Amino acid sequence: MILYLIPVLTALTLLAAAAAFYQLQVRGRETSERLRRVLDGEDSPDTVLDPRDTSLPILGKAVSFLAWLLPGHIYSEPLQWELAQAGYRHLEARKVFAGMRVISTVVLGLSAALIAWQLKRQPQEILILTLVGVLVGFYLPMMIVRTRQSKRQREITLALPDALDLLVICVEAGQGLNAALLKVGRETALYSGALSEELKTVNNEMRAGVTRIQALRNLSLRTGVDEVRALVAVMIQSDRFGTSIAQALRTHAESLRIRRRQRAEETARKAPVKLVFPLVFCIFPELLVVILAPGMLALFRALSDMAK
């Protein structure tokens, strides 16, 4: 049995090595592209997506037409913030999401039923597989949104301490909070497009007439990151009580750096536990084969000679 598992484990080892090499290459290209943009002086524009723009492509309009089957999604405010945390802030985003949920539910449900029917299963089994396909299709769009949320929130979390340091420098240099947010939004575009977009959106909201407190609260709702929520609370408290916002931001930046270092230490301590699986299942079998194969072959030859 072990001899049959050796090729499979070897293939998994090679696949893991190829994936790691690909990740290193992708990160190297991202770093090179970031350095090139810094050296060339490129900067992202100050404009962000206008949520009042209701234009959709033809496919998006066709998908959003099915949203009437789920009317609760169209006017759901929690769903609006869920999509905003994933980066979907269009006014028609809820309709498109509802339409995609209807399509995925119907398609996966019918696919499961057809597959079960082609395999000539019993009616009870066909019904169960159809229900499983319907449930998977119903929750699949939200799973995709949650995956994009976690990726975007991780990007914002990693970029926030450096952006906060730059914000402290801008405020202590004499800039107002609006100008400092705009400057930080421009600079963070080089390594975090999500955070840059959120900061520019805050600036645009305040320029459009939204109060600073409400704009900052919208920032915490759009990101869903605990660090951003704590930063917004500090800024609102400083603005409300008239304390020095530069000192408050500096203190909060120090706490964020400590938290980032603790997070890195936690990740490093998890590495030995995560290495147990590839070591036991992908490396040790090959080592055993390399070490024991010559002895086993010699033993088989000796036993065959004795039998003869």
| DSSP code string of 247-279 | HHHHHHHHHHHHHHHHHHHHHHHHHHHHTHHHI
What is the model's pLDDT at position 51?
46
Least confident piece of the model among 55-59, 68-72, 168-172: 55-59
- Mean pLDDT, range 187-206, rounded to an integer: 85
Instruction: Tell me the average pLDDT across 233-248.
Output: 81
Residues of the chain above pLDDT 70, percent: 81
Residue linked to tokens 């991202």: 30
Q: For the residues of 30-48, what is the DSSP string, one character each?
A: HHHHHHHHHHHT----S--
pLDDT of 214 above 50: yes
As a whole number, mean pLDDT of residues 294-304 equals 82
Q: Average model confidence (pLDDT) for the chain?
A: 79
Between residues 36 and 209, which one has the greater pLDDT? 209
> CA 8 to CA 230: how far, in whole Å?
48
- Rounded to 10°, the helix 245-274/226-241 angle is 170
- Report H helices in 173-283: 177-188, 193-207, 212-223, 226-241, 245-274, 276-278
pLDDT, position 264: 84
| pLDDT at position 49 | 45
Please give the Cα distance from 155 to 185 (Å, whole number).
Answer: 14
Cα–Cα nearest to 90, from 144, 60, 53: 53
Q: Would you say residue 34 lies in a domain?
A: no
The whole-number average pLDDT for the span 52-71 is 70
Q: What is the pLDDT of residue 302?
A: 83
The predicted model gives 78-95 an average pLDDT of 85
Q: What angle do CA 190, 194, 200 make, to 5 degrees?
A: 85
What is the percent of the chain with per-residue pLDDT over 90, rounded to a whole number? Answer: 2
pLDDT the model gives residue 20: 63
| Within a domain: 11 | no
Q: Is the pLDDT of residue 85 over 70?
A: yes
pLDDT, position 80: 86
Q: Work out the pLDDT band at 232, boundaries 50, 70, 90.
A: confident
- The dihedral of CA 294, 295, 299, 302: what is its sign? positive
User: How far, rounded to the nearest angstrom, does the alpha carbon of residue 184 sit from its chain's CA centroid?
Assistant: 22
Q: Determine, yes or no, domain membership for 252.
A: yes
Q: Is 70 exceeded by the pLDDT of residue 138?
A: yes
Cβ proximity of 150 and 136 under 8 Å: no
pLDDT at 45: 45
Answer yes or no: is 254 within a domain.
yes
pLDDT of 105 > 50? The answer is yes
> Locate tokens 């402290």: which residue?
168
- Total domains, the chain: 1
Report the C-alpha gap between 208 and 146 in whole angstroms. Answer: 30
The pLDDT tens digits for 15-40 are 666 766 666 665 566 666 655 665 56
Q: Do 245 and 171 touch, CB atoms closer than 8 A? A: yes
Give pLDDT, residue 22.
63
Query: d(Cα 136, Cα 105) in Å, to the nearest integer?
Result: 7
Confidence check: pLDDT of 219 > 80 = yes
Q: How do residues 44-60 score in pLDDT, each as one tens digit?
A: 444 444 444 456 667 76
Residues belonging to the chain: 308
Q: What is the pLDDT of residue 243?
A: 75
For residue 253, pLDDT beyond 60: yes
Assigned domain for 279 exists: no
Please report whether residue 19 resides in a domain. no
Structure tokens of 92?
Answer: 């028609």
Better pLDDT: 3 or 56: 56
What is the reported pLDDT for 143? 92
Mean pLDDT of 297-307: 82
Label residue 252 left, alpha or beta by phi (over 0 means left) and psi (-120 to 50 means alpha): alpha
Question: pLDDT (tens digit, 9 = 90+) per residue, 155-164?
Answer: 888 888 888 8
Model confidence pTM above 0.85: no
Does a structural domain hold residue 249? yes
Distances (CA, A) of 147 to 25, 83, 110, 240: 23, 11, 25, 36
Q: Tell me the residue range of the domain where 235 lies.
A: 43-274
Tell whether 13 is covered by a domain: no
